[in-house]
Amino acid sequence: MRVIDEATSKMHFDPKAKPKGMLRIVLAMKNSVRAISWLVKNESAFRQELILLILAAGVLAFWSIPYMEKTILLSSILFVLFAEIINTAIEVTIDRIGKEIHPLSGLAKDLGSAAVLVTIAISSLLWLATLCRYF
């Protein structure tokens, strides 16, 4: 938990002051909602993937396939969103460290982007395999 140092007026992390129990869960949920809200406002790729999730949920609501397959297909889109969140976290961290161009900073960002690409490929393969099975 963040605590203000009385002597310096600086904020620092105090691991002993971490919340416990239900308060920890509530605060974690609040932080997660704040992060998702930030992503929706600031990351167009996340918005696009969120729209894809909503469309996929709509298609799956009417598609007569077993619930396990629906779950797998929907999870594949959620996996893309997960990768996008991690990619954005990497990008924000690199930008926090410094704005100067550095090969390792670029590589870290590219690796995050590659992770998103791999999850999109996985999701696409699952959807295509399912479509081929039923059509």
Instruction: Specify the pLDDT at position 5.
Output: 64
Whole-number average pLDDT of the chain = 94
What are the structural domains, with CATH classification, of the chain? 24-132 (1.10.287.3610)
Neighbouring CB atoms inside 10 A of 115's CB total: 17
84 assigned to active site: yes
On whether 110 is known to bind a ligand per the annotation, the reply is yes
- Of 84, 87, 94, 123, which one is the catalytic site residue? 84
Instruction: Specify the pLDDT at position 55.
Output: 98
On whether 36 is known to bind a ligand per the annotation, the reply is no
Per residue in 37-61, pLDDT (tens digit) is 999 999 999 999 999 999 999 999 9
Per residue in 6-31, pLDDT (tens digit) is 677 677 777 788 889 999 999 999 99
Share of residues in the chain with pLDDT > 70 (%): 95
Neighbouring CB atoms inside 10 A of 65's CB total: 13
Angle at 82 between CA 80 and CA 86, to 5 degrees: 115
CA–CA dist 116, 48 (Å, integer): 13
Q: How many CA atoms lie within 13 A of 22 on its CB side?
A: 0
